[in-house]
């Protein structure tokens, strides 16, 4: 069955996301988790991408939800892996929060299902609605920050989400 390797890699990534601890500190809102010598996870809030060192080069799984954040993710990845070895970017599906940073990886082969390409093309034609949706989501997160009963850790995550969606909205405006 020709889909076995893809299913295995996808399953492996899901397991890795659920079994690792994030390494972060109060001064750095970004997480960088070194799973082992060949796999790292980089993220900001709920936005996480993976970098896997393979015999064919470094493979990036998804590119994140904004170009601005993805540039930082790429910088963090190059702390562990040589940028010139990044050869593939795999998009798991065509939602903006998984593909909006694709343009940051200019010199790599992008891989995804044909439906992913169709979804990306559809999203480009409806950018006006997407922009207003992203901005309204960001504003809702900002309103949620006013809840005085929230613990600091939750407020931290909410502020990351607000920033993430604001950046995504700015990407669509440009």
- The string of DSSP codes covering 18-50 is HH-----BTTB-EEEEEEETTEEEEEETTEEEE
CA distances from 124 to 66, 93, 100, 169, 173 (A): 14, 15, 10, 13, 12
In this prediction, residue 133 carries a pLDDT of 76
Query: What is the rounded distance in angstroms from the CA atom of residue 20 to the CA atom of residue 24?
Result: 12
Query: What is the rounded distance in angstroms from the CA atom of residue 163 to the CA atom of residue 100?
Result: 15
Q: What is the DSSP letter of 52?
A: E
Each domain of the chain, given as residue ranges in start order, spans 4-124, 126-173
Coil vs helix vs strand at 111: strand
In this prediction, residue 74 carries a pLDDT of 95
In this prediction, residue 170 carries a pLDDT of 81
In this prediction, residue 79 carries a pLDDT of 94
pLDDT tens per residue across all 174 residues of the chain: 444 444 444 444 444 444 444 454 456 789 999 999 999 999 998 889 999 999 999 999 999 888 999 999 999 999 999 999 999 999 888 777 788 888 899 999 998 887 777 777 776 655 556 667 777 888 888 888 888 788 888 888 888 888 888 888 787 776
In this prediction, residue 138 carries a pLDDT of 81
Q: Are 73 and 101 in contact (CB under 8 A)?
A: yes
In this prediction, residue 16 carries a pLDDT of 43
In this prediction, residue 14 carries a pLDDT of 43
In this prediction, residue 1 carries a pLDDT of 43
Tell which residue, 49, 45, 113, has the closest CA to residue 76.
49
User: Residue 65 phi/psi, 5° resolution?
Assistant: -100, -10
CATH numeric code, 4-124: 3.60.15.10
């Amino acid at each position: 069955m020709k889909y076995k390797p893809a299913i295995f890699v996808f399953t492996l990534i899901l397991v890795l996301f659920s079994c690792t601890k994030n390494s972060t500190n109060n001064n750095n809102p970004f997480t960088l988790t070194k799973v082992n010598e060949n796999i790292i996870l980089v993220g900001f809030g709920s936005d996480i991408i993976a970098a896997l060192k393979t015999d064919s080069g470094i493979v990036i799984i998804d590119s994140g939800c904004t170009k601005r954040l993805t540039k930082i993710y790429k910088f963090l990845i190059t702390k562990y892996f040589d940028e010139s070895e990044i050869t593939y970017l795999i998009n798991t599906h065509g939602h903006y929060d998984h593909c909006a940073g694709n343009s940051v990886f200019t010199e790599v082969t992008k891989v995804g299902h044909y439906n992913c390409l169709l979804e990306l093309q559809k999203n480009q034609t409806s950018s006006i609605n997407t922009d207003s949706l992203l901005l309204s989501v960001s504003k809702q997160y900002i309103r949620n920050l006013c809840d005085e009963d929230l613990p600091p850790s939750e407020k931290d995550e909410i502020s990351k989400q607000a920033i993430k969606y604001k950046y995504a909205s700015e990407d669509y405006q440009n």
